[in-house]
């Protein structure tokens, strides 16, 4: 192990030409990062936005706001990997996962330039091997590219630390923002890095103008969103300037909103969750960000945040020739903006498993920003210890042993919490949603080679986007028209549905649409289902179980209602037939063994169980105990559960 060598700020004002040989720390770290990524990438689609991004990457189109042009670009690689024979979900997940590897290596390079390669390798490993990073970065999601582009900006900051390069800083910041809008949290660091080293009003104005100009150049990837046509999924109307701006600014959600629905959330709860997440990562999983100890973890996380920044500040004070204090101050402000200010503005309830899963992904930027300060803080402590001992080899050996134990503890926490590679239930449940309705049922006028024979209304990312993926990429359940009840509010989405079924009513309320379908002689025969009960009015609809779905009978006053179709025998027959067409099995639900890492999977498992148990209870009340064993056998086959 070679000793750390510092790279002082160049007296020539140019840090871009440092000729350094390869660092063994890079070899060790890169091997670990690539191994973890390959160990983690999924072979089936995951919950969240992964289904939408995989669909766009593999079949073209435009994803949800702000458009994520870099995911569209990565689709070129994903299609090539798919053509080479990788499973489509793996082909879509691997490029973002490798972007994550690149992001961590860029952060490590920052540590190398500051003369701390091995301490930096440990700090990066601690972050990259955490369950938070493994679960969310190694998937067909935005987080790997987010780390890469944010890491590239941080690398530019450190590489140009001898003298500001505001135009280059602006470009790298703009590129990061063009992928994920939360990169605006890096603005304090950009300002600190772009400030003239000498007090000069003219220089200040010049650097500010160059930085803004560079940022505009960096935002140009957004201009690629209108390019191309067709594709498996196109959110919004980005072909016009107004439509493009509407999309980039996330007006469909609300620019500062994280979801399509607003929740009243206490800022103390969201900030506490974010701080507890920091504590969990830095403690290698010894502390938990959930459960009864979350409050204590939050306080420890706050203390750790202050301690890391304070010790890193002491290192900067002692090494003014290696890092300008303005850069350090901007870095600290960006850390605080990401760890405190942004969580305080979040509008998703963090107290439930689903909200916590969604929100923890935004902690990745905080963790990325903390890696370099953590390395500097540990270096400062190491320097103090080395100054009072005559056996530095013993200190290095002890530090190496502790580092190894902590990284192994992180990987052990990953095994406990779960990896994307272990989850298949979300994809198979999506297939069951669209493939279990009778493929030989009555058809309605529709476009496409396969006529529509069922309509399913549903919501939620772990249903709608996986359904999009299995239909557009895998070609499953083409006889089913899936309608997201929330997206009906948008004219572009209704136009997409009507492109498949031209006579579909052009209304924005799901229950109103159901009534109009039952009233239309052309459409009335098609069976209507609910994938989930998505609203209070939907909860009041009469419904009967049918496989993993709820089937909604038309009201008796409609001509399409036939009493003979709703006897116990008919309901039971359709339920068992739907179960026979389903593909999921109990081992596919990673949420049963890893509920925190895969809460959506556990929720989908319950959807199967709940419907079977409700049908069994209804049969028992009707005195049809003879029919209950068949329901129980079908349930156990698919979920492993008993009635």
Do 16 and 158 meet the contact criterion of CB atoms below 8 Å apart?
Answer: no
Do 531 and 458 meet the contact criterion of CB atoms below 8 Å apart?
Answer: yes
585-609: per-residue pLDDT in tens? 999 999 999 999 999 999 999 999 9
Q: Identify the helix (H) or strand (E) that includes residue 273.
A: helix 267-282
145-159: per-residue pLDDT in tens? 999 999 999 999 999
Q: pLDDT value at position 11? A: 34
Q: What percent of the chain has pLDDT over 90?
A: 84
Q: pLDDT value at position 255? A: 58
468-519: per-residue pLDDT in tens? 999 999 999 999 999 999 999 999 999 999 999 999 999 999 999 999 999 9
What is the four-CA torsion angle of 158, 162, 167, 170, rounded to 10 degrees? 30
532-590: per-residue pLDDT in tens? 999 999 999 999 999 999 999 999 999 889 999 999 999 999 999 999 999 999 999 99
Do 148 and 154 meet the contact criterion of CB atoms below 8 Å apart?
Answer: no
Which of the four pLDDT bands, split at 50, 70 and 90, describes residue 392? confident
Which of the four pLDDT bands, split at 50, 70 and 90, describes residue 2? very low
Q: Is 391 left (phi over 0), alpha (psi -120 to 50) or beta?
A: beta
Summarize the confidence of residues 611-634 as an average pLDDT. 94
Q: pLDDT value at position 344? A: 94
- Specify the higher pLDDT residue, 69 or 463: 69
8-63: per-residue pLDDT in tens? 543 333 333 333 445 789 999 999 999 999 999 999 999 999 999 999 999 999 99
Q: pLDDT value at position 153? A: 98
pTM recorded for the entire structure = 0.93
Which of the four pLDDT bands, split at 50, 70 and 90, describes residue 260? low
Do 29 and 7 meet the contact criterion of CB atoms below 8 Å apart?
Answer: no
Q: pLDDT value at position 462? A: 73
CA atoms in the 13 A half-sphere facing the CB of 123: 27
Helix axes 363-386, 267-282, angle to 10 degrees: 50
Whether pLDDT at 257 is above 70: no
163-175: per-residue pLDDT in tens? 889 999 999 999 9
Do 455 and 536 meet the contact criterion of CB atoms below 8 Å apart?
Answer: no
Q: pLDDT value at position 361? A: 97
Q: What is the mean pLDDT of the chain?
A: 92
Q: pLDDT value at position 389? A: 80
Q: What is the DSSP letter of 565?
A: G
- Specify the higher pLDDT residue, 463 or 619: 619
Do 546 and 441 meet the contact criterion of CB atoms below 8 Å apart?
Answer: no
Q: What percent of the chain has pLDDT over 70?
A: 95
293-325: per-residue pLDDT in tens? 889 999 999 999 999 999 999 999 999 989 999
CA angle 269, 271, 272 (to 5 degrees): 65
Summarize the confidence of residues 324-329 as an average pLDDT. 93
User: Token pair of 148, please?
Assistant: 């890469």
Do 577 and 549 meet the contact criterion of CB atoms below 8 Å apart?
Answer: no
Which of the four pLDDT bands, split at 50, 70 and 90, describes residue 253? confident
Beta bridge partners of 233: 61
Instruction: Give the span between the Cα atoms of 45 and 602, in whole angstroms.
Output: 15
Give whole-number Cα distances, 474 to 58, 228, 465, 469, in Å. Answer: 11, 22, 13, 7
As a whole number of Å, the end-to-end CA separation of the chain is: 60
267-286: per-residue pLDDT in tens? 999 999 999 999 999 999 99
Instruction: Give the span between the Cα atoms of 42 and 420, in whole angstroms.
Output: 5
Summarize the confidence of residues 126-141 as an average pLDDT. 98
Instruction: Give the span between the Cα atoms of 469 and 88, in whole angstroms.
Output: 10
Three-state SS string over 339-379 comes to HHHHHHCCCCCCCCHHHHHHHHCCHHHHHHHHHHHHHHHHH
Do 572 and 393 meet the contact criterion of CB atoms below 8 Å apart?
Answer: no
Which of the four pLDDT bands, split at 50, 70 and 90, describes residue 261? low
Q: pLDDT value at position 199? A: 80
Q: pLDDT value at position 393? A: 80
Least confident range of 257-266, 358-367, 514-523: 257-266
Least confident range of 124-128, 367-371, 442-446: 442-446
Taking residue 408's Cβ as centre, other Cβ atoms within 10 Å add up to: 12
């Amino acid at each position: 192990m070679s000793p750390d060598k510092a790279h002082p700020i160049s007296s020539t004002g140019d840090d871009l030409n440092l000729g350094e040989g390869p660092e063994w720390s890079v070899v060790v770290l890169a091997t670990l990062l690539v191994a973890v990524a390959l160990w983690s990438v999924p072979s089936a689609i995951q919950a969240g936005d992964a289904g939408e991004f995989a669909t766009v990457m593999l079949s073209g189109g435009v994803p949800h706001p702000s458009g994520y042009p870099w995911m569209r670009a990565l689709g070129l690689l994903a299609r090539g990997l798919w053509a080479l024979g990788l499973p489509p979900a793996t082909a879509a997940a691997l490029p973002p996962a490798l972007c994550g590897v690149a992001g961590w290596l860029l952060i490590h390079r920052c540590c190398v330039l500051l003369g701390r390669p091995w301490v930096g390798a440990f700090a990066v490993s601690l972050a990259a091997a955490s369950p938070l990073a493994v679960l969310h970065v190694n998937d067909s999601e935005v987080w790997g590219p987010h780390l890469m582009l944010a890491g590239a900006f941080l690398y530019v900051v450190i590489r140009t630390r001898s003298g500001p390069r505001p135009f280059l800083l602006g470009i790298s910041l703009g590129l990061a923002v063009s992928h994920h809008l939360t990169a605006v949290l890096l603005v304090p660091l950009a300002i600190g890095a772009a400030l003239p080293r000498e007090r000069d009003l003219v220089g200040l104005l010049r650097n500010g103008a160059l930085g803004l100009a560079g940022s505009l150049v960096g935002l140009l990837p957004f201009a690629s969103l209108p390019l191309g046509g067709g594709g498996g999924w196109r959110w919004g109307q980005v072909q016009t300037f107004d439509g493009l701006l509407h999309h980039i600014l996330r007006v469909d959600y609300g620019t500062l909103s994280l979801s399509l629905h607003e929740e009243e959330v206490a800022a103390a709860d969201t900030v506490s969750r974010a701080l507890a997440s920091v504590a969990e990562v830095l403690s290698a999983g010894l502390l938990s960000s959930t459960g009864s100890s979350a409050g204590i973890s939050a306080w420890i996380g706050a203390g750790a945040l202050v301690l890391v920044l304070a010790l890193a500040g002491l290192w900067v004070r002692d090494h003014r020739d290696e890092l300008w204090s303005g850069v350090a101050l901007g870095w600290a402000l960006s850390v605080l903006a990401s760890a405190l200010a942004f969580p305080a503005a979040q509008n998703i309830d963090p107290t439930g498993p689903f909200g916590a899963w969604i929100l923890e992904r935004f902690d990745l930027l905080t963790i990325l920003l903390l890696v370099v300060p953590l390395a500097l803080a540990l270096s400062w402590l190491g320097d103090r210890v080395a100054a009072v001992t005559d056996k530095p080899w013993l200190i290095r050996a002890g530090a190496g042993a502790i580092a190894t134990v902590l990284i192994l503890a992180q990987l052990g926490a990953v095994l406990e919490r779960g990896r994307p590679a272990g989850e298949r239930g979300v994809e198979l449940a999506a297939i069951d949603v669209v493939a279990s309705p009778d493929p030989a049922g009555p058809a309605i006028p529709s476009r496409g080679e396969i006529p529509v024979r069922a309509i399913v209304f549903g919501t939620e990312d772990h249903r709608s986007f996986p359904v999009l993926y299995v239909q557009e990429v895998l070609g499953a359940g083409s006889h089913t028209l899936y309608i997201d009840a929330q997206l009906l509010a948008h004219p572009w989405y209704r136009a997409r549905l009507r492109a498949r079924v031209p006579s579909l009513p052009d209304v924005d309320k799901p229950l109103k649409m159901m009534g109009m379908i039952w009233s239309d002689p052309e459409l009335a025969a098609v069976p209507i289902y609910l994938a989930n009960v998505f609203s209070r009015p939907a909860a009041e609809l009469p419904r009967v179980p049918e496989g993993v779905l709820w089937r909604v009978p038309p009201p008796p006053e409609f001509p399409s209602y036939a009493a003979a179709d709703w006897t116990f025998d008919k309901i039971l027959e359709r339920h068992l037939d739907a179960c026979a067409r389903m593909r999921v099995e109990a081992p596919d639900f990673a949420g049963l063994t890893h509920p925190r890492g895969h809460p959506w999977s556990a929720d989908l498992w319950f959807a199967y169980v709940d419907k079977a148990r409700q049908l069994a209870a209804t049969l028992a009340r009707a005195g049809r105990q003879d029919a209950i064993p068949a329901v129980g056998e079908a349930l156990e086959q698919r979920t492993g559960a008993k009635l």
